[in-house]
Structure 1
Amino acid sequence: MQRWHGLEAVPTDWGHCVVTIGVFDGVHRGHAAIIGQAVDLAAERGVPSALITFVPHPSEVVRPGSHPPVLTSIVRRAELVEALGVDVFLALPFTLEFSQLPPDEFVHRALVERLHASAVVVGQNFRFGHKAAGDVETLGRLGRTFGFTAHGVPLVAHGDTPLSATFVRSSVRAGDLRAAAEVLGRPHRVDGVVERGDQRGRELGYPTANLRTEQWACVPADGVYAGRVVRLDEWGRTLDAPPLGIAAISVGTNPTFEVRQRRVEAYVLDFEGDLYGENVGVEFVERLRGMVKFESVDALIEQMAADVEQTRAVMAGGPGRG
């Protein structure tokens, strides 16, 4: 898959393609349905498929300070859509100037002049242009003018609830990782760099990898979780290698030691080695319990041992405690 940043990266000899547009944060099952339709239509027409996404999240530009928690970094997003068969991943810088483009100008500048779209596939709730003035009907009208077909894909629902990144974010921040995984089609993952902590876990017999996360990463609610840790390369891409291992993961401030900084710490079971400075992804599978202040270090160690055994049970397919 080709990765382009900005419209100026589109080759001057670029031919026709089928385009799909969206933030696609999380690349959940609803997104996959839209992207899959674009990929299939491109194959039918014998042209490449191109996906347009935006950085940063448009809400941060339109309403500064409102950036939602991010489910997937731009690198992870590209990785996930590549697995769905997309040929080109185009990240457009979403600036204030860009946000003020009327719908027809966005279509002409991006879809017609640069990408030569023969078809555009979007979710049926798609909005675009200044003040979200454009919708699927607008896209169809402009398509008839500029020579492309517009396709609005019905939203995928779980029961009566349409699948959405908003729902996933709410589930993750509430600690309901099972619900999040149901929509995502995989466990929620938080990526980052392992940095040195206060070494307290090592002193207690449970050395943890302290994760420095990205600014807007969607970190689960405080508590202890069962999951796994995977290795990433220097660019944040998932390495084609087995996971480092299953992990008992702590999210929170560690009230027993009156630590104020909120942290993500993963104890990788049966792992020996130094991860400092490594890029890793922490996958959250199930919440085991909330964050608790223990009366003594011994009580904490006893609970940590129980957390590890519960992690083994959950990751082997047994019950968790929630």
Structure 2
Amino acid sequence: MQVWTEVSQVPTGWGPSVVTLGNFDGVHRGHVAVLRRMVDDARAAGAHAVAVTFTPHPAQVHRPHDAPPLLLGDRDRIELLEATGLDAVLLVTYTLDFARQTPQEFVERYLVGALRARTVVVGRDVRFGWQNSGDLSTMRGLGEQYGFDVEVIADVRPDETPDAGPAHRRWSSTWVRELLVAGDVRAAADVLGRPHRVRGVVVHGDARGRELGYPTANLGATTGLVPADGVYAGWLRREHRPDGTPVGQDRVLPAAVSIGTNPTFEGRERRVEAYVLDRTDLDLYGEEVVLELVERLRPTLRFDSVDELLARMAVDVEDVRRVLGAGATRSGSVPT
């Protein structure tokens, strides 16, 4: 899949294309269903399938103080978009200057001029251009003017997806956020179609876990919404060492993940840290890792003594084994 961060990077003569627009935060089941259908249609028509998306999220530009937290960083969003079979993603840097384009200017420059759109796939509530003045009617009118079809996609609901969850609402990023804030990562995975992930670089912590016999990888600044405080069963996924060389063995490892302030030791800073089961030999400092969260085992608790904490940590480790399965191994493939 090709990834362009400037419209000028689109190769001359690219197209024809089937193009869709969206933020695709989380790349949940609804996104995946629409994108895979679009890819199939593009293949049948002999066209490229392209998604146009934005960074940062437009809400972070227009209303930064109350914009919703993002489910994914750009790197994971692109990785999951690629897994749908898209030929290309145009990741547009969203600024106030970009937002001042009229609907016609946006369509003319991006969809027609650069991507040579044959079909544009949008939701019924699509908005684009200056002050969101462009809507579905606008897009259809521009399609007639510039010679592309407009395909309207309906919301995808759980009852339309095999092996899905409860059918009381449509798949949405908002639904996932609500579940993660509540710590329900298992239900969030039902909406996402995969475990929720948090990415960050491993940094030095207090070394308290090593002293207790449970050395942890502490994540610095993270991307991906950090769910409610608690202890989680999950997978620690490695991709590259700090020097950029790929990881061979030990690429995906079972882990007990702790999120919170460590109240037993009067901690104040909220942290994300992971203990890789049965491993005290790993040196992950400086390495960027992904935590895939499978199930919340319990909330964060304050223990009256270190011995009481250690006893509960032993129970947590066994609970992680139970949740992840005997042997606690998995492939390093991208979940979809």
The whole-number CA distance in structure 1 between the counterparts of 2:135 and 2:103 is 9
The whole-number CA distance in structure 2 between the counterparts of 1:3 and 1:234 is 23
The structural deviation recorded for 1:31 is 0.4
**Residue from 223, 231, 244 that aligns with 2:230:** 223
Aligned partner of 1:171 in structure 2 is 179
The whole-number CA distance in structure 1 between the counterparts of 2:239 and 2:70 is 18
Would you say the 8 A contact 2:241–2:247 is kept in 1? no
**Residue from 300, 309, 312 that aligns with 1:303:** 312
Q: Deviations over 1:286-313 (max 9, x none)?
A: 1111111111111111110111011111
Match runs of 1:32-181 below 5 Å: 32-158=32-158, 159-181=167-189
Judged with a 3 Å threshold, the aligned counterparts in structure 2 of structure 1 residues 187 and 110 are, in CA distance, closer, same or farther, namely same
Size of the aligned set, in residue pairs, is 316
Kindly report structure 1 stretches of 4+ aligned residues shifted beyond 3 Å: 234-244
The whole-number CA distance in structure 2 between the counterparts of 1:54 and 1:116 is 19
Would you say the 8 A contact 2:261–2:270 is kept in 1? yes
Aligned partner of 2:219 in structure 1 is 211
The whole-number CA distance in structure 1 between the counterparts of 2:305 and 2:23 is 47
Would you say the 8 A contact 2:196–2:293 is kept in 1? yes
Q: Secondary structure in 1 aligned to 2:258?
A: strand
Q: Secondary structure in 1 aligned to 2:286?
A: coil
Q: Deviations over 1:162-195 (max 9, x none)?
A: 1111111121121011111001100000011111
Q: Deviations over 1:244-293 (max 9, x none)?
A: 31111100000010111100010010223111111110011111111111
The structural deviation recorded for 1:124 is 3.0
The structural deviation recorded for 1:44 is 1.5
The whole-number CA distance in structure 1 between the counterparts of 2:129 and 2:75 is 25
AA aligned to 1:44 is A
Asked if residue 233 in structure 1 is aligned to residue 240 in structure 2, the reply is yes
The structural deviation recorded for 1:91 is 0.4
Query: TM-score normalised to the size of structure 2?
Result: 0.89
Would you say the 8 A contact 1:62–1:99 is kept in 2? no
Q: Secondary structure in 2 aligned to 1:245?
A: strand
Would you say the 8 A contact 1:37–1:121 is kept in 2? no
Can you give the 5+ residue segments of structure 2 that lack an aligned partner in the other structure? 159-166, 327-336
Identity %: 51
Q: Secondary structure in 2 aligned to 1:162?
A: coil
The whole-number CA distance in structure 2 between the counterparts of 1:143 and 1:108 is 10
Would you say the 8 A contact 1:122–1:152 is kept in 2? yes
The whole-number CA distance in structure 1 between the counterparts of 2:217 and 2:108 is 48
Aligned partner of 2:164 in structure 1 is none
Aligned partner of 2:329 in structure 1 is none
- Taking only aligned residues, the RMSD between alpha carbons, in angstroms, comes to 2.0
The structural deviation recorded for 1:133 is 2.4
AA aligned to 2:305 is S
Can you give the 5+ residue segments of structure 1 that lack an aligned partner in the other structure? 318-322
The whole-number CA distance in structure 1 between the counterparts of 2:67 and 2:247 is 29
Q: Deviations over 1:66-110 (max 9, x none)?
A: 342222221111111111110111100100011122222211121
The whole-number CA distance in structure 2 between the counterparts of 1:3 and 1:25 is 17
Asked if residue 287 in structure 1 is aligned to residue 302 in structure 2, the reply is no
Asked if residue 245 in structure 1 is aligned to residue 235 in structure 2, the reply is no
The whole-number CA distance in structure 2 between the counterparts of 1:121 and 1:240 is 40
- Please identify, of 89-98 and 149-158, the stretch whose mean Cα deviation from structure 2 is larger: 149-158
The structural deviation recorded for 1:33 is 1.8
Judged with a 3 Å threshold, the aligned counterparts in structure 2 of structure 1 residues 239 and 187 are, in CA distance, closer, same or farther, namely farther
The structural deviation recorded for 1:237 is 12
Q: Secondary structure in 1 aligned to 2:127?
A: coil
The structural deviation recorded for 1:13 is 2.8
